[in-house]
Structure formats: structure tokens, C-alpha cells
Structure 1
């Protein structure tokens, strides 16, 4: 017996719903023949037979919710794949009346797809198809980049790119318009009309393009390419008429054959073969910086007993202070007054009260640092780097801002020196500049603490006996629980919160 189980469905996807079984108990199945369709909140996926044989048992029915790895059914192996039934080819359906061969004038919008959890926008990295160019269904139009992934956006239907709403370098939000696709007019033109019956099939061939049906499933498209069938020859049974692999196999069993050689070029222009996934992959060696980042982050996870605690902070006082003095500050010091200097100073203040967060483990010893070298995470095209502001406790606001601004510029230009990224005792990372609401930053080993800043957003909070809107930010402290206790971590965050909400405390060292 061979088990049929729910496959891995993608990052963070743990369950799916059974949309439809294509086979019933007792049916003979071939290896890799689709057995059922699963639906998640992101994709629909077919589950193929892991072996040839007979579907002896179905343990999960249509409509049930199943977890990854759950048992769906069992196949009793017969050692022989299912043989096609010797059925006569069905009679051809009568052609629809009227002249339906003209392409539809309707357009189809292509929009930015969901890009992953918490990702709300992306950058247009590359335009693959320009306005006026013809395009096949599932052929990529543009390539988008986020801080996590690069993804190609395919055409939902074949046709011609009527217009492009974006250009390279644009930032687009999820759901934003990318392009519109018009009727291609490339629906299979009738052959040189050897017989009236063949010419009458032209309206039928143009129907899928005008109806806006879903493109065939990837496995179905591959099966059609291998067998030489076109989408017009297969009746789809999936959602909204989508053609599934089982539909292709059923068409082959019923005697449907590939179109004649004269029709092949038109078929290929509508649905080009995509080939194997391996042929569409690009293998690029990791840069030395990326390898170093990956190793250090994984080492930190494997070594430290890492835990994260959260708090939120009202940014009203700092924003008001910054608004009041930013012009005169910039005029005198030739640098803008940002938020990082406030947080760096607040962290130094908190580290002095909670020295465990400024310590590290060396063998069986705890090493407490009586100096404050503040690491500041900076994102670059090549990866994340953490230059260190040395002796941050001895610097003023202007010196901190100048140092961080200089680090940021030289980091993006690749001009940081190695010694400028060593010796940090604590790190601050600001995911808020990318729009992050909340995160759990990874320790910068061998440090025992890292503070994560996030975006500022207006939220209702209780102020006295009233509810008011305040510019609030979530703070996250990830720490090594081998050194730092929960009480110390919470105390540290509370001290940072107090200093930011009442900046005068920094001046008075309170």
C-alpha cells in the first residue's frame, strides 16, 4: 500500500481544503496522474498519484480541511499503470452559429499579486514585455522585487499588451495596476478551408480567449505540450473552467489527437511550451558578504537561547522636539536630526541600568562591557551590514547623526572598513524604514541584545481619561536568555520607552 499525503504547500502554509477528487475508490490510476485538487488561501494545487495501482481508500472527502502531511488516501500497487480505455472518439459537437471568430475587444487588467505575509509593496525591477507586444497566457510581463523575494508576474490570458502602467524602478502596492491586455486577434485562424466542417470550428476556437477563463494548470499545460493538444481540444473541469492534468489525460483516452501540422504554428503562438522548471532557473553563486551574513545569523540562532519581548512607545515628544529644533540643528551641525540619535542615547541610558544586555558569554564566563559601542544595521544592495558607533555614551546628538549618516552612505557605496563593523556591544535595527510594523530581530552574535524599531503609525491610546490618536511605534528587544532574564529585558525596554516619551530624562540622566 502507498500512502497519499498532503504535500508541502509553501512557506507559512499549514493547511488546505480539498476542492475536488478526480478519482473514486476502486479506480485504477497511473503514476503521477492527478488524484485531487487542494486549495489554500494562496494557490490551488493538484496532488498526483505517488505510484500506479488502484485507489483503494479515500480518507479525506471533498470540502474537508487537511494539514500538511495528513493522510488523504491509499493506493494498492498493481505494478501496472492505468491503460487507456478503448472508447470511440466522441462525435464532434456542432459549431456555434454566427460569426464568432472576431477577437474580443475587452481588456484584462494585470495587477500586483499578493507578495507574502506583511509585504505591501514592491519595486518594478524589470519590464519583460512592452506595450504593443503579443504575449501568451502565463508568460511573464514584469519582474517585481521586495525585501524578501523577486517574482515574475505572468499574463492571465494571451493577447497583446495594450498599455503598461509602470516603468522600471517604480514602487507599486499590492493590487496596483501593472498592465492591460487586449484581445490578441491571434486566435487560431482557420486553415485554408479544405472542408466546411473544419472552417466552422473557428468560432469555437476563439471562445476561450473571449470568455476570460482561467489558464490551464501548469501540469495540464505541460501535458498538453507533450501530447501536442491545444486548450481548445480539452474540456476543463476545474474552477471557472480551468483545464487540469486529469482533463488532458481524459481527452487522450477518448481519442482526441494533436492538430494537423498546418495548425501547429497558431497553437504554439497561443500557448508556448514552458519546458522544465530547471530550464527556467538561474543559479548565481552567493557573494562572500551574503555567505557571511547567512552563517552568522544561523550561528546566532543555533547558539543563543533567543527570546523577544515587545513594548510600544509614544513618539509625540520626540517628534515635537525634532520639529521644533530640526532647522536650527541642521544649520549649526550640517546634519539632519533624526530618530536614531534619540534611540542610541536611550539605549545607552538603559544599558547602564541593565548591564546584562551589554554583556556576552565567553566560555564559562560572563563578560560585562563597561563601554557602549552601538551597532547600527544598514541595508545595502549586497546585504545587511552593521557598522559600529564607538563610545556612543561620549558622543553628542550631532556626532551620532553624522557618524550614522556617513556609515549609511559608505555602506551603500561598499566603502566601509572591516574594523568599522567590529567590536559592537549592542545593536539597533530599524525595520520601520521599510514599513515593518513588528518583527523579532536576530541577535548579532556574540552580543546579548538587539533593539528593533518599527514604523510609526497613528493609533488610539488612553491619555488620562480620554482616547486620543498618538504616533506609536512598536519596539522589540531580542535577547540571549542565557545572560538576560525576563525581568531585565522588560526593564530595559521600559527605560528606553521612558526616555523616548520624556526626552528631558536623557539630559538629566534620569
Structure 2
């Protein structure tokens, strides 16, 4: 019996999506709940799984096609065998076991995660030895194969680079369509610059107190919470306390109205291959340092795998972005509408500083606060950034609320 394969029902904020990848082709066998197609929206990648054991009967929307919420994109036949082509008649003596054709042709049985990892790293699945059930190649098998090849490549002398036949004087170009997420990010950034009266104020913070605190308690922190103590949790808590003192920085603009939020939901910018995403730490005031670190690691893993839910990226009253992990010394972050401010962290660099009339070498970080001048006055923006600086240079202030 044939059933329709439909795109997921999109949230109200998502108008349409794009078929990103068909993981199964017509005639290919599928197990119940196995991933068959990815639908990319301007916020997340949504997965469509097989409704039962069977085969893909027909694909109606190919990769790159635009689809609407709940639109039919293919047909599925439940209970059917996964034979894409009719078998050729052979003498009984020449007949092979059911799984022999796949092995003979060099095709490997891959899990969806393994197939994706193999495609991203240009790995031939037939060269990977499967350790899963019935010889299935798992994601771990592919990763081990990649790691092994890296080790061999490092041990062997570099092979001569193959020559590419390009006409003399010709400049090679590659044109690829912008992904839906990248296009959405581009539009939001341009809109932010065109609609907001954006201004940036800078300051610098001595990171020595935080670094000494981490060094002193890192081992105990890991034993108790099972996660390392990073810098982002301190910045999140400092920003949360500063937002309480300066409500305009924790507000947003809705038309001619100014909306003051009585809670602190802080977005943390995460860079992925598909673009920048901003998952939100809900009620950061109620979260401890360990809770923040665990949530950030969870969001980072989900972001890289494209598993973030739309609910995890919507809302947010303030954003923190860390360009320092890429080596940025100073920058001017762009607002994340409809928020009115964003904090930029940067690289920690040792610099000579004047301390009580003497020159000392200290680990310093530049901080940048971009804000919407329509909502926030310069005085408030500067005082907000100074409050964060003071709390980071004397972490006891966060605990004592001074």
C-alpha cells in the first residue's frame, strides 16, 4: 500500500523549506523511523523518517526544490522488499545469498549518520569495514577510517599533486547556490544595519582573576559536575547581573513600542558549516555555572549535527558572541534583531598594563558592546559594559550582587 511522504509541518515563523538531501532513492529499502530526507528551512534542518518498513516508491520533489509546510514530496510503499531492479534469471547453482550482490558490487550498507560523514569527507563506503549488524557501516567505522588515513598521510611523503587542465590565463571559479539558512542570516544582518541606529562601545577586562579561579577549582569542578569550567559561563552570569541593572539593554523594539523583559534569556552565537546560529539559554539567572557550561556544550553538539530545534533558537533578550576562539582581537558585532544589544568577546592577549604606577604583563581581553541607540543611551551602554568588566575582574561581585 502506497502512502504519501510529506514535508514536516513548519512553525508559523517558517514559510517554506528546501529539500536538502534524499538519503534513500526509489527502490531502496527503509526501516521504520530511518532517516529518508532532510528539509532545510531558514532556521533548522528538519528530518523526515520512514513511517514503516518498506521502500521509497517515487520522489516528487528533488534536492534543491522548494516545498511548503505539509507538501507531498514523495511516495512510500510499506512492506515492500528493497529490490530496485528485477533480478536476472540465473541457474540455481549460480545464485548467491541475498546479501551477496551488495558485497559483490562493492556497495556498503551505511547508517544515515555514516553516509553523511562519508559524503562530507569524500570517503568511499566500500573501503570501510563495517562492524555493525549484518556488516552495516556505522558512523564510528567511518570516523576510524578517516583518522587512520590521516595517520598514514602524515607518515608517508606527500604525493605529487595532480595537474588540473586549465587554459592559460583562465581563472577558475565555482558557483554554488546560497543555502536557505545563509540567505536568512544575510537578510537579517542587512536589515539590522539598515533599521537600527547601531553604535559600538569598547572596553577591556583583565582576565587574570577568572583564569586563576578556573585553575584553582577546575579539578574539583570537573569531579563534581563532569564538565570543565570555561569562560562563557562567567560572561553569561556577569551579563545576566548587568541586564538586571540596566533594563533597556534587556529590551526590544516592536514598532513604536519598547518592550522591557522581566527575564534574562541569553543567546550564545555558535558557528557551524551551514552558518551562524544562536541557541538561547532560558532563564540564565536561575542557572549555575555548571548548568550553563553543560547547555553550551549540548547546543554546540546539536548545532554541528544540524539537530537544533526551532524552539531552542527563538526568543532571546540579549546575545553573546565569541570571536576570540578564531583569534579575533577586536570587532564590532552586529545586532540580533529585535534585541537591542550584543556583547562581543575576543582573544585573550598578554599586554603591558600600568598597575599602581608599575608596568605588569596581564592577560587582557577587549570587549565590544553593539547597541541600538534608539533604545539605549550612550551612558547606559558604557555603564553596562563597565559593570560586566568589574564583575569579571572581581568575580565575588556576581555572588554579592555589588
TM-score range, shorter chain: 0.5 to 0.7
Secondary structure of residue in 2 paired with 1:282: coil
Q: Any unmatched runs of 5+ in structure 2?
A: 1-119, 122-148, 152-157
In terms of fraction of residues, the more helix-rich structure is: 2
2:319 corresponds to 1:433? no
Distance 1:493 1:481 in 2: 15
Task: Give 1:336 deviation, angstroms.
Answer: 0.8
Task: Give 1:168 deviation, angstroms.
Answer: 8.4
Task: Give 1:288 deviation, angstroms.
Answer: 1.1
1:392-407 matches, within 5 Å, as 392-407=284-299
Secondary structure of residue in 1 paired with 2:311: helix
Secondary structure of residue in 1 paired with 2:167: coil
Task: Check 1:168–1:486 CA distance in 2 against 1; reply closer, same or farther (3 A cut).
Answer: farther
Task: Give 1:274 deviation, angstroms.
Answer: 3.2
2:199 corresponds to 1:307? yes
* Runs of 4+ deviating beyond 6 Å: none
Secondary structure of residue in 2 paired with 1:460: strand
2:168 corresponds to 1:274? yes
Name the structure 2 match of 1:458: 350
Question: Normalising to structure 1: TM-score of the pair?
Answer: 0.47
Deviation by residue 1:26-62 (Cα, 9 ceiling, x = unmatched): xxxxxxxxxxxxxxxxxxxxxxxxxxxxxxxxxxxxx
2:228 corresponds to 1:336? yes
Task: Check 1:283–1:320 CA distance in 2 against 1; reply closer, same or farther (3 A cut).
Answer: same
Question: Normalising to structure 2: TM-score of the pair?
Answer: 0.59
2:350 corresponds to 1:424? no
CA RMSD in angstroms comes to 2.5
Distance 1:274 1:427 in 2: 49
Distance 1:281 1:399 in 2: 46
Distance 1:452 1:495 in 2: 15
Task: Give 1:273 deviation, angstroms.
Answer: 2.6
Secondary structure of residue in 2 paired with 1:319: helix
Deviation by residue 1:438-491 (Cα, 9 ceiling, x = unmatched): 000000011000000001011011111211000000000000011011101100
Distance 1:302 1:168 in 2: 46
Secondary structure of residue in 2 paired with 1:370: coil
Task: Give 1:272 deviation, angstroms.
Answer: 6.3
- State which of 348, 371, 382 in structure 2 corresponds to 1:490: 382
Name the structure 1 match of 2:239: 347
Name the structure 2 match of 1:376: 268
Secondary structure of residue in 1 paired with 2:333: coil
Distance 1:365 1:382 in 2: 34
Name the structure 2 match of 1:473: 365
Secondary structure of residue in 2 paired with 1:317: helix
Task: Give 1:334 deviation, angstroms.
Answer: 0.9
Distance 1:303 1:465 in 2: 45
Task: Check 1:397–1:273 CA distance in 2 against 1; reply closer, same or farther (3 A cut).
Answer: same
Deviation by residue 1:222-255 (Cα, 9 ceiling, x = unmatched): xxxxxxxxxxxxxxxxxxxxxxxxxxxxxxxxxx
Name the structure 1 match of 2:188: 296
Q: Which is bigger in relative contact order (C-alpha 8 A, separation at least 6)?
A: 2
- State which of 321, 335, 340 in structure 2 corresponds to 1:448: 340
Name the structure 1 match of 2:108: none
